[in-house]
């Protein structure tokens, strides 16, 4: 699937689900903090993407993509601060984050607040590549 198609679908889904203006939906805008999405809105966005692109992404898959398969007890410490391993994983899926600034500071509950429109595009592209590889096998 073409990246521009995914970008357009993500932007449309975000605008429709959140009722924001199209110019607010920039690649660096965070879904929760900048655009005001709540968890129910994320489900709505994922549902809209499924309808427009035919790619089903469950909320649990979103979390798994962000966490990269790292078990909870390794992703964060006993105080729910994201570990070095967790931050390294986050940097892969959210290249915009400043790992140095977040080291020892980022609580696991704050991770999704950093998730941007561009990160969602990356997730959808990743998911479409997995589906294409599975259907080719």
What pLDDT does 69 receive? Answer: 92
- Predicted structure pTM score: 0.92
Q: Cα(53)–Cα(9) distance, rounded to whole angstroms?
A: 7
Give tens-digit pLDDT for 22-66.
999 999 999 999 999 999 999 999 999 999 999 999 988 888 999
What pLDDT does 59 receive? Answer: 87
Cβ neighbors of 16 (< 8 A, separation 6 or more) are 48
Q: Where are the domains of the chain?
A: 3-136
CATH code for the part of the protein at 3-136: 1.10.1200.10
Q: Cα(99)–Cα(118) distance, rounded to whole angstroms?
A: 18
Q: Are 87 and 102 in contact (CB under 8 A)?
A: yes
What pLDDT does 133 receive? Answer: 87
What pLDDT does 35 receive? Answer: 98
Scanning the structure block, which residue is given the tokens 């110019």?
A: 23
Give tens-digit pLDDT for 92-127.
999 999 999 999 999 999 999 999 999 999 999 999
């Amino acid at each position: 699937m073409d990246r521009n198609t995914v970008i357009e679908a993500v932007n449309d889904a975000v605008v429709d689900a959140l009722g924001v203006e199209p110019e607010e939906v920039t690649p660096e805008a965070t879904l929760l903090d900048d655009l005001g999405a709540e968890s129910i809105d994320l489900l709505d966005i994922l549902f809209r993407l499924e309808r427009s692109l035919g790619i089903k992404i469950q909320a649990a898959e979103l979390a798994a993509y962000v966490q990269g398969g790292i078990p909870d007890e390794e992703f964060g410490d006993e105080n729910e601060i994201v570990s070095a391993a967790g931050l390294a994983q986050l940097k892969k899926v959210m290249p915009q984050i400043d790992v140095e600034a977040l080291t020892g500071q980022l609580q696991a509950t704050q991770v999704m607040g950093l998730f941007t429109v561009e990160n969602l595009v990356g997730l959808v592209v990743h998911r479409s590549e997995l589906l294409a590889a599975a259907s080719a096998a």
